[in-house]
Structure 1
Amino acid sequence: MTTLTFRRITTQDPATRPRPRQGHASVFHKGCLYVFGGRVQGSGRIYVNDLWKYDPDKNTWEEILAVNPSQVPCKRHNHTCVMGMDDAIYVFGGQTVSNKYLGDLWRFDLGTQQWSELTQSQPRHSHGAWKHGNTMLVFGGRTGLKPAVYSNEVLAYDFESNKWSTPYSGDDQGRAAAAAGAPHPRSYTSIVKCDEYLVVFGGYWWDGKEHYFDDTFGFSLTSHKWIKLSPLGNERVPHCRNRHGLLPLPSVADGGFMSGMVIFGGNFYANDRGSDKFFGDAWMFGTFVEEPLTSGKWNKVTLLGDIPCPRGHVAWVEDDQVPGRSWMFGGEAKRERFNDLYEVRVEVSAT
């Protein structure tokens, strides 16, 4: 059985914390949580480019101001953040309040508190990103507004060379082989590394009507080929959704070592009823590492403690100091945005 135990954090000074928001991005580094940007609560669309730090030991929030305020990323939401190998936060893509899609990449040095702009890639928002070795891997996202264009491409950014590439083979035949069996182009999804695979679940695309996914795919980081992981039959799977939180499983579980992921929340739009459905459930996809990830299955997760209300667009990141601990901040449901913070304990048992 897998459980998520939530503990809502009440800070020493509730007035000093980030504004309620969605479409933000987070990283956790050397014992502290960092939150950047997003769409905040207010009349109309209000996007921000602020950077906040939460210190669990001190139980305090602090806004981090750039040394040079004229050299900062523009206000945005639906971007991604990852930690580099050099005590720096990397922010990629997103969307502005004027609906401009961004392909810029920024680096924030936590030591000098300075932003620097790096090489650009194709503009996109609502994509997924993950650090793997000395690269940042990016999947999917929306790349065009009119007409609506979505991606199922995997991109790789090399932190050392400051260059973008695709991990597909360079020739057309190799690219076609790698793309065979790829997931449908989509946005509002997340990715995580499980075993040798970059795994994606769910997401959304629009062609005059909204479409949501409940499928799970893995992109092999060795063969550079896609494989469908679920559903492969009539097994039980999470309801289709987008804007869900995604976290890798702790490597050690009661009974052995695990490979897999956990999702929480998300939403979908019921076209027939004309209303949004927000989820407050959690699901695990995984297997013991002695077995291939292709044999993994979805199972419902038990929620304990201070369970958050149903929502989408949460930022959920793994703690780098305490195994099995993670942090979940913010999100949105029915046009209400949140700035609540939860410590989440993930426990996995073979029984």
Structure 2
Amino acid sequence: MTTLTFRQVETLDPSTQPLPRQGHASVFHKGCLYVFGGRVQGSGRIYVNDLWKYDTAQNRWEELIAADPSHMPRKRHNHSCVVEMNAIYVFGGQTVSDEYLGDLWRFDLDTRQWSELATSQPRHSHSALKHERSMVIFGGRTGLKPAVYSNEILVYDFDSNAWDSLYAGDDQNPTTVAPHPRSYTSIVQCGQYLVVFGGYWWNGKEHYFDDTFSFCLNSHEWVKLSPLRDERVPHRRNRHSVLSLPATDVGSMSGMIIFGGNYYGNRRATDKFFGDAWLFGSLMGESLTSGRWSKVTLLGDIPCPRGHHTWVNDDQDTGRTWMFGGEANRQRFNDLYEVRVEVPAV
């Protein structure tokens, strides 16, 4: 039985911590959780560009003030970030004036200096991860009026400071197997595959997905993993969090775990937030096409249902992860959870 055991963290100084927020981005690096930007609790839309560090050893939050506050990313939400070497990279997002951003910024954790790098096509509510010496971007919304969504896979090369596209979409070929353009989903990496579940798009009505796809980084081809037949899968949703589950030993599972998210049924008072968790996985050495979804058991200080939160792996402690913030029914959170992941070998 796969389990997530939650422990809500009470910090030593609760007066010094990030404001409640959603649509922020988080990374974990050398024993510390970093949180950048987002939409915070308040009257109207309030976006921020603050950067916070939670030190797991000291159990303290600290706001990292830029060495030059006049040169840093604008306030935003629905952006992404990754960590490489000793720097945090922040890409894209949306401003309070509904401007879509395609800028890329690097924050040096040693000098606390922000530097602006090569730009790409503006987008928000995309997802990102680090692969080798690159930052990989999937999907997102690229246009406001009319609403334009993407299923493109972009790659930023840290060494050359240049963008490229691994998959630009093929809407003219009806036989192409690829996820519908979408936003508010997340990607994880399983070996040479990127795995995507769920998400959202809008064309006058809201549409949510419950499908799972993998993209091969070698062949640049998509494969639909689920649902393929009458099988049990998570309810369609967006704004969920996702955690990579790399196989380490014979009999262990490779795949991902999702938590939370939300769904709206295009009818009044049908907005639903989820507090469940699901695992999609296959045994080490088996193809992802053999993977199946299964419900995960939740234990401990279980968070209330929510979406638009972040969930990242701890790089110092195998099996320990960190979940922060999010939103449900216009109430934003700044609660922090240590989450222990246990997936028994088969």
Q: TM-score range by the shorter chain?
A: over 0.9
Partner of 1:207: 203
- Which one-letter code corresponds to 1:315 in the other structure? T
* Partner Cα separation in structure 2 for residue 195 and residue 240 of structure 1: 26
C-alpha change, 1:251 and 1:321, in structure 2 (3 Å) is farther
Q: Note if 1:111 corresponds to 2:102.
A: no
- 1:294 alignment partner, SS class: helix
Conservation of the 8 A alpha-carbon contact between 2:261 and 2:273: yes
* Partner Cα separation in structure 1 for residue 148 and residue 236 of structure 2: 21
* Partner Cα separation in structure 1 for residue 297 and residue 307 of structure 2: 19
Offset at residue 167 of structure 1 (A): 1.9
How far does the alpha carbon of each residue in 1:14-60 deviate from its partner, in whole angstroms, 9 at most, with x for none? 11000000000000001100000000000000000000000011000
Conservation of the 8 A alpha-carbon contact between 2:212 and 2:224: yes
1:334 to 326, 329, 333: 329
C-alpha change, 1:48 and 1:127, in structure 2 (3 Å) is same
1:1-351 equivalences in 2 (<5 Å): 1-84=1-84, 86-168=85-167, 180-252=176-248, 256-350=251-345
Conservation of the 8 A alpha-carbon contact between 1:128 and 1:141: yes
Conservation of the 8 A alpha-carbon contact between 1:49 and 1:76: yes
Offset at residue 228 of structure 1 (A): 0.3
Offset at residue 290 of structure 1 (A): 1.8
How far does the alpha carbon of each residue in 1:241-280 deviate from its partner, in whole angstroms, 9 at most, with x for none? 0000100115347x72321000000001121344310000
* Partner Cα separation in structure 1 for residue 173 and residue 134 of structure 2: 23
* Partner Cα separation in structure 2 for residue 251 and residue 305 of structure 1: 25
Offset at residue 349 of structure 1 (A): 1.3
TM-score when normalising by structure 2: 0.97
* Partner Cα separation in structure 2 for residue 102 and residue 298 of structure 1: 35
- 1:317 alignment partner, SS class: strand
Identity fraction in percent: 72
* Partner Cα separation in structure 1 for residue 223 and residue 173 of structure 2: 12
Offset at residue 315 of structure 1 (A): 0.7
Conservation of the 8 A alpha-carbon contact between 1:68 and 1:114: yes
- CA RMSD, Structure 1 to Structure 2 (Å): 1.7
- 1:275 alignment partner, SS class: coil
* Partner Cα separation in structure 2 for residue 326 and residue 146 of structure 1: 38
- 2:151 alignment partner, SS class: coil
Conservation of the 8 A alpha-carbon contact between 1:18 and 1:339: yes
C-alpha change, 1:92 and 1:335, in structure 2 (3 Å) is same
Conservation of the 8 A alpha-carbon contact between 1:250 and 1:346: no
Structure 2: give runs of 5+ residues left out of the alignment.
none
* Partner Cα separation in structure 2 for residue 251 and residue 56 of structure 1: 25
How far does the alpha carbon of each residue in 1:320-342 deviate from its partner, in whole angstroms, 9 at most, with x for none? 11111110000000000000000
Conservation of the 8 A alpha-carbon contact between 1:268 and 1:278: yes
How far does the alpha carbon of each residue in 1:268-298 deviate from its partner, in whole angstroms, 9 at most, with x for none? 1121344310000000000111211110000
Quick check: 285-294 or 240-249, which moved more? Answer: 285-294
- 2:76 alignment partner, SS class: coil
C-alpha change, 1:296 and 1:108, in structure 2 (3 Å) is same
Question: Number of matched residues?
Answer: 346
* Partner Cα separation in structure 2 for residue 155 and residue 49 of structure 1: 24
* Partner Cα separation in structure 2 for residue 273 and residue 26 of structure 1: 33
Conservation of the 8 A alpha-carbon contact between 2:190 and 2:246: no
C-alpha change, 1:179 and 1:105, in structure 2 (3 Å) is farther
C-alpha change, 1:119 and 1:178, in structure 2 (3 Å) is farther
How far does the alpha carbon of each residue in 1:79-128 deviate from its partner, in whole angstroms, 9 at most, with x for none? 001012x3100000000000000000000000110000000000000001
- Which one-letter code corresponds to 2:230 in the other structure? N
* Partner Cα separation in structure 2 for residue 40 and residue 273 of structure 1: 25
* Partner Cα separation in structure 2 for residue 143 and residue 274 of structure 1: 28
* Partner Cα separation in structure 1 for residue 196 and residue 123 of structure 2: 17
* Partner Cα separation in structure 2 for residue 221 and residue 148 of structure 1: 28
- 2:289 alignment partner, SS class: helix
Conservation of the 8 A alpha-carbon contact between 2:152 and 2:167: no
- Which one-letter code corresponds to 2:89 in the other structure? Y
TM-score when normalising by structure 1: 0.95
Conservation of the 8 A alpha-carbon contact between 1:284 and 1:299: yes
* Partner Cα separation in structure 1 for residue 256 and residue 167 of structure 2: 25
* Partner Cα separation in structure 2 for residue 194 and residue 2 of structure 1: 18
